[in-house]
Amino acid sequence: MKTEKRNKGVLIRLFKTVYSFYPVLLPVAIACISVTAVVGAVPAIFMQRVIGGISAAFDNQTPWAEAGPAILNDVYILIALYVTSIVTGTVFGQLMTIITQGTLEKLRDKMFNGMQKLPVKFFDTTGHGDIMSYYTNDIDTLRQLISQSAPQILVSGITVLSVLVIMLYYCLWLTLVVLTGTAVMLVVTKKIGGGSARYFVKQQQAIGEEEGYIEEMLTGQKVIKTFCHEREAEQGFDEVNGKLYEASRRANRYANMLAPALFNIGNVLYVILAVVGGVFLIPRLNVPNVSISGMAISISVVVPFLNMAKQFTGNINQVSQQVNSVVMGVAGTRRVFELVDRPPEVDDGYVTLVRAREEKGRIVECEERTGVWAWKHPHHADGSVTYTKLCGDVRMFDVDFEYEEGKPVLRGISLYAKPGQKVAFVGATGAGKTTITNLLNRFYDIADGKIRYDGININKIKKADLRRSLGMVLQDTNLFTGTVMENIRYGKLDASDEECIAAAKLAGADDFITRLPDGYNTFITGNGANLSQGQRQLLSIARAAVADPPVMILDEATSSIDTRTEAIVQRGMDALMKGRTVFVIAHRLSTVKNSDVIIVLDHGRIIERGTHEQLLEQKGQYYQLYTGAFELE
Amino acid sequence: MVKEIAHSLREYKRVSVATPVLVTFEVLLECLIPYVIALLVNEIQDGCGLDVILTYGAILVAMAAASLVFGVSSGITCASASSGLAKNLRKDMFYKIQSYSFQNIDKFNVSSLITRMTTDVTNVQTAYMLLIRLVVRSPLMLIFSFIMAFVMGGSLAWVFVAVVPILGIGLAVIVIKTVPLFHRAFRKYDKLNNSIQENVKAAREVKSYVREDYEQNKFGAASHDLRKDFQKAERILAFNQPIMQFCLYVVMCAVLSFGSYLVIDSMGLNLNVGELSSILTYGFMMLNSLMMLSMAFTMIAMAGESGKRIVEVLTEESTLKNPAEPVFDIADGSIDFEDVSFKYSENAERQALSGINLHIASGETIGIIGGTGSSKSTLVQLISRLYDVSEGCVKVGGVDVRQYDMDALRNGVAMVLQKNVLFSGTIAENLRWGNKDATDDEIREAAHLACADEFIERFPDKYDTYIEQGGANVSGGQKQRLCIARALLKKPKILILDDSTSAVDTHTDAKIRKAMREYIPETTKLIIAQRTASVEDADRIIVMDGGSINDIGTHEELLKRNAIYREVYTSQNKEGHDLED
């Protein structure tokens, strides 16, 4: 009961949404389809009148010249009705494709734009396959629902109602017979359709399972080959594949059975009607008719009634065929709304980053590029504005953080990074190194403590401006489909080709890029599948270099680059970041050795800090790591 | 394309043939029922008694029952046939992929293969279902109805002949026009989805570069472009309905006016009322079936694209073939490279390897050092014939690797790949990949050699500990040690470690090397490493640079004479301030 109510809510909301997109087109389309449906049902009356006219003429032996005009008159009305139906039908068809495709585009955009504003947490905690499913499967079921099922149900519903009225116009008794038959059809639909829906759900599960198996095996395909493990992989596959076959066969079997079952119930109903009609026609029984028209039961009531019964059951059949797609459409629609409804990342920051220039020791905001940036800090109390020069001074005081309640990841972290310093984090996987950087750019918000950036509480800084001031290079490099040049330019959209090439040189990427078939115009697809992990990292560093940020976070940014190339990259980066703050996370200790301060983390706490030399002298954890007595896990 | 896909029918051929046969009977009955009804209507009109109606009723119910039986059984066979085809297609693809060489694997990416095995197969399954049911049903319906219309109405049925071509041409034009449009639109759809996927994966990049607006604009434009194509195609498709209605109504009006004239004029001799109404019924059936046919064609044509993508996988031939008379025994662990050069693809400009001459004696330990892109991995992958050389030859045990049975060669040459993978299952199951008949003792020994036993013993379930997909629940160093143990279980003649101890601490790394030296001295060992410490004690060290051998020698020799080796060594071993000198 509850789910039914919720389902209704979803459908009403979908209707309202479509209406808000097309406040004019949608009512016009609905009007058109209604006219089409009604006009489609009415001809039955005129057809009956024509046939009645023929029968009468036939019985009375009236010649065509006399009977003809009256009959043709009805035919002309029919033609008029048909023309109306075709015109409204065509208009509806055209409008509906516009409405359907337009709605899909707008919903897609709504989902995507909404998704861009979601916090990082959403991307971290939602499976990527699951996210893709919003844009593919769910949108697909929605398309089916809007463009096919809904109009079909509307048309059939109107037709069924009109036919019902016409049937009552002729005879109540026969109508009751038809309604009884309809009840039987609905029960059958529920039984067979329910079975089919159940197995379709099973089929979806089986597909998910099989996809998982294929993914695991194909990801490890090279290992399978080197171990000659092909036969075993095939056996495992046969098992999951067999399950999917079973579910799919049953689901389709039920679905295929529904149409013939309903069709033949319709036929039997037809026979019953004929028999009942025949009984009524027996003169000596003299059954009194109950009808709107007040006609007595006669041959000219029974015959058209049979045709209408056919139309009636045919439409019920049509609606029944939509059961699966409506059920799936409602589920898809609900998911789409669920994504659209997700609350966006909150941003209460009001301190903004502006270009500035120094005049007589004072910071003045300006339009042109000066290389100097300042924090613009409006004060609500007196309406004044102060400017603070962006230096890259970062301090943390007693910071606590947890991703999940009750599982603290960082505890009492206090640290400072003075402008121009290089600060390194070292520690085992899960020690909290990456988490610290996640807090700096506010991908996540701290639970307790304070973070100050150039003396400003980072919660007061507008997120976009905060992030613009922090460059990030991550271990897992993500590139976009496009040329190498475009990928570097992602760091600064208005960068010239020269700027991009300069950045690539700085990052040590120029060397391999120029050796690619089309150099900087080489097209990258599939996240740079044709590049090595090291080359991708070099590109990612070039991308950060062209952005030229005051503070940089390098999270295992050089882990796949060999030590010789790394030394080259390091020299370039050191030149770029001279006088700016750098945070480095690295597994390889040779990467962090020359840092101003190295912070050793263990289970979310700082256990050691100091320069490389100081830490070696302490002979603590760092010393053990450095001498290789410990594994960084 | 059809031939390749039909090949996967196999055991479902019978149900595939049965379906159209059953459908034929179903359609036959469906067409006869209105005929009997027409007779009944005439009888009623003539004022027949209830007994006649009951007789006709009994016949009709029997026919409906038969039609139900045929309809349901064709539904069942059709479900079996189409699900079966889908099953076999997936199976054939998976088996085919198992026969692929590394080169073939490089060509397809995993996500594209998954889409081909799921979405594309589902599309073909749906199309096949339509094909054996609807495509048989509709033309049969058309023909039967036509025949019946003639039987019933005689010359009046010619009206249908007049409109059918109009309808046929109209529908054909729609199909021809929309198919290429849909083809293009679906390609754009793929691209759009790809860009969503990139956006989701790169969520951190998008946010840290504050590119939300840029991404929105990019997406909005692509989304709008896609909508335009789909809308255009569907607007054309939407004319299906009006065309069919037009034809139907023309027929209705013509039949009604001309038919009533005939009935009255001939006093029911040429045509009676019952016949007139059944002609109308058949007319409706004919046009309806044409309409279904055109819809089915559009869907089948769209599935053609999926079919092509499936066939691409099925017809991809492995670039490596087993020789006609393979050698099964590997004499020893010696390796020879003679004038070897290698390119990843024929049109690649760059030689991944060139002019390699190398002789390794059985039982030697060889270290390999070189920068990113110096083709270290490529070199060793030629030994177990994961790729074939472009020129020259590689010999193992004195025999060209191309003459060995591939399984025999790969069982003799164990390889721990750089991108290593564990599979979901227990530790013991994972280790048994190396040798599925290994005893528990053998497993423990291999784990001990790879220094994996120390942490395995600490797990509560020890060797029965369940490893998540990709080895997500063990650390990088633990994963590498398990992978080494797995390779050791093969008891290979040659063992290749491709950067396999990078996450293992130096102490354990040394312990593993010591164990290998002592327990499997006769096995030839090739160790690729980033750290010079990992290769220092090797018999010889190969320095790779830009796809060729730069130098070969012992640690001391190289330190003295080789600039590259010295630089690598220095960067890893000297203090930071020394570097700045």
The fraction of chain B above a pLDDT of 90, given in percent, is 6
Q: What is the pLDDT of residue B577?
A: 35
Q: Tell me: the pLDDT tens digits for A183-195?
A: 998 898 888 888 8
Partner residue opposite B50 with nearest CB, options A54, A245, A282: A282
Q: How far apart are CA A46 and CA A58, in angstroms?
A: 18
H helices of B238-327, where? 240-265, 273-315
Residue A563: band (very low, low, confident or very high) from pLDDT cuts 50, 70, 90: confident
Residue A112: band (very low, low, confident or very high) from pLDDT cuts 50, 70, 90: very high
Check residue A228 and report its DSSP letter.
T
Chain A interface mutation, best of B94, B273, B404, B432, highest count of A Cβ atoms under 10 Å: B94
Cα-to-chain-centroid distance, residue A90: 32
Q: How far apart are CA B59 and CA B27, in angstroms?
A: 17
Same-domain check for residues B306 and B399? no
Closest CA to A82 of B285, B348, B249, B557: B249
Chain B interface mutation, best of A438, A564, A568, highest count of B Cβ atoms under 10 Å: A564
* Residue B323 belongs to some domain of the structure: no
Q: Count how many domains chain B has.
A: 2
Same-domain check for residues B121 and B265? yes
Residues 140-169 in B contacting A (C-alpha not used; CB under 8 Å): none
Closest CA to A63 of B51, B136, B457, B264: B264
* Residue B581 belongs to some domain of the structure: no
The fraction of chain A above a pLDDT of 90, given in percent, is 11
* Residue B168 belongs to some domain of the structure: yes
Domain span including residue B7: 2-315
CATH number of the domain where residue B382 is located: 3.40.50.300
Same-domain check for residues B78 and B179? yes
Chain B interface mutation, best of A87, A248, A558, highest count of B Cβ atoms under 10 Å: A248
Q: Does residue A243 contact residue A297 with C-beta atoms inside 8 Å?
A: no
Chain B residues closer than 8 Å to A97 by CB = 231, 234-235, 237-238
Q: What is the mean pLDDT of residues A530-558?
A: 83
* Residue B322 belongs to some domain of the structure: no
Same-domain check for residues B266 and B390? no
Asked if the C-beta of B251 comes within 8 angstroms of chain A's C-beta atoms, the answer is no
Counting beta carbons within 10 angstroms of the beta carbon of residue B277, is it exposed (0 to 12), middle (13 to 18) or buried (19 or more)?
buried
Same-domain check for residues B97 and B135? yes
Instruction: Collect contacts of A49-56 with beta carbons under 8 A, ≥24 apart.
Output: A49/A74, A50/A74, A50/A75, A50/A78, A50/B256, A50/B260, A51/A300, A51/A303, A51/A304, A51/B273, A51/B276, A51/B277, A52/A300, A52/A304, A53/B260, A54/B260, A54/B263, A54/B264, A54/B273, A54/B276, A55/A299, A55/A300, A55/B45, A55/B273
Same-domain check for residues B477 and B536? yes
- H/E stretch holding B483: helix B476-488
Residue A171: band (very low, low, confident or very high) from pLDDT cuts 50, 70, 90: confident
Residue of A nearest to B369 (CA): A562
Same-domain check for residues B52 and B112? yes
Q: At what angle do helices B158-201 and A64-116 cross, to 10 degrees?
A: 10
Cα-to-chain-centroid distance, residue A281: 62
Q: How far apart are CA B337 and CA A35, in angstroms?
A: 82
- Residue whose tokens read 């033609």: A79
Partner residue opposite A123 with nearest CB, options B97, B203, B277: B203
Q: What is the pLDDT of residue A144?
A: 83
Q: In B152-268, at which residue ranges do the beta strands (DSSP E only) sit?
A: none
Q: Tell me: the pLDDT tens digits for A246-279?
A: 999 998 898 888 888 888 888 888 888 877 877 7
Q: What is the mean pLDDT of residues B563-570?
A: 81
Mean pLDDT of all residues in chain A?
83
Q: What is the pLDDT of residue A633?
A: 44
Q: What is the mean pLDDT of residues B12-27?
A: 90
* Residue B350 belongs to some domain of the structure: yes
Q: How many other β-carbons are positioned within 10 Å of the β-carbon of residue B289?
A: 20
Partner residue opposite A248 with nearest CB, options B65, B86, B200: B86
Q: Tell me: the pLDDT tens digits for B20-30?
A: 999 989 888 88
Q: What is the pLDDT of residue A377?
A: 87
For residue A430, pLDDT over 70 is answered with no
For residue A630, pLDDT over 60 is answered with no
Q: What is the pLDDT of residue A529?
A: 62
For residue A611, pLDDT over 80 is answered with yes
Q: What is the pLDDT of residue B78?
A: 92
* Residue B564 belongs to some domain of the structure: no
Chain B residues closer than 8 Å to A633 by CB = 475-478, 503
CATH number of the domain where residue B272 is located: 1.20.1560.10
Q: Does residue A615 contact residue A623 with C-beta atoms inside 8 Å?
A: yes
What residues contact B326, with CB distance under 8 A and at least 6 apart?
A: B403, B404, B405, B406, B408
Q: Which of B315, B350, B367 is the last residue of a domain?
A: B315
3-state secondary structure A149-202: HHHHHHHHHHHHHHHHHHHHHHCHHHHHHHHHHHHHHHHHHHHHHHHHHHHHHH
The fraction of chain A above a pLDDT of 70, given in percent, is 94
Partner residue opposite A116 with nearest CB, options B60, B113, B212: B212
Q: How far apart are CA A143 and CA A325, in angstroms?
A: 10
DSSP B517-561: HHH-TTSEEEEE-SSGGGTTTSSEEEEEETTEEEEEE-HHHHHHH
Q: Tell me: the pLDDT tens digits for A570-604?
A: 877 777 777 788 898 877 777 788 888 898 888 88
Chain B interface mutation, best of A209, A267, A588, highest count of B Cβ atoms under 10 Å: A267
Residue A165: band (very low, low, confident or very high) from pLDDT cuts 50, 70, 90: confident
Q: What is the pLDDT of residue B581?
A: 30
**Binary contact (A71, B260; C-beta < 8 A):** yes
Q: What is the mean pLDDT of residues A399-412?
A: 84
Same-domain check for residues B65 and B174? yes
- pTM (predicted TM-score): 0.79
Report which of residues A521 and A8 the model is more confident about.
A521
- H/E stretch holding A581: strand A581-585
Same-domain check for residues B433 and B292? no
Same-domain check for residues B286 and B432? no
Q: What is the pLDDT of residue A407?
A: 78
DSSP A531-558: S-HHHHHHHHHHHHHHH--SEEEEESTT
Same-domain check for residues B235 and B100? yes
Partner residue opposite A82 with nearest CB, options B133, B205, B249: B249
Kindly report which listed range (A479-483, B158-162, B357-361, B513-517) carries the lowest average pLDDT score: B158-162
Residue A21: band (very low, low, confident or very high) from pLDDT cuts 50, 70, 90: very high
Report which of residues B508 and A353 the model is more confident about.
A353
In this prediction the ipTM stands at: 0.83
Q: What is the mean pLDDT of residues B316-320?
A: 83
Chain B residues closer than 8 Å to A272 by CB = 57
Partner residue opposite A526 with nearest CB, options B76, B109, B234: B109
* Residue B324 belongs to some domain of the structure: no
* Residue B531 belongs to some domain of the structure: yes
Same-domain check for residues B380 and B297? no
Asked if the C-beta of B323 comes within 8 angstroms of chain A's C-beta atoms, the answer is no
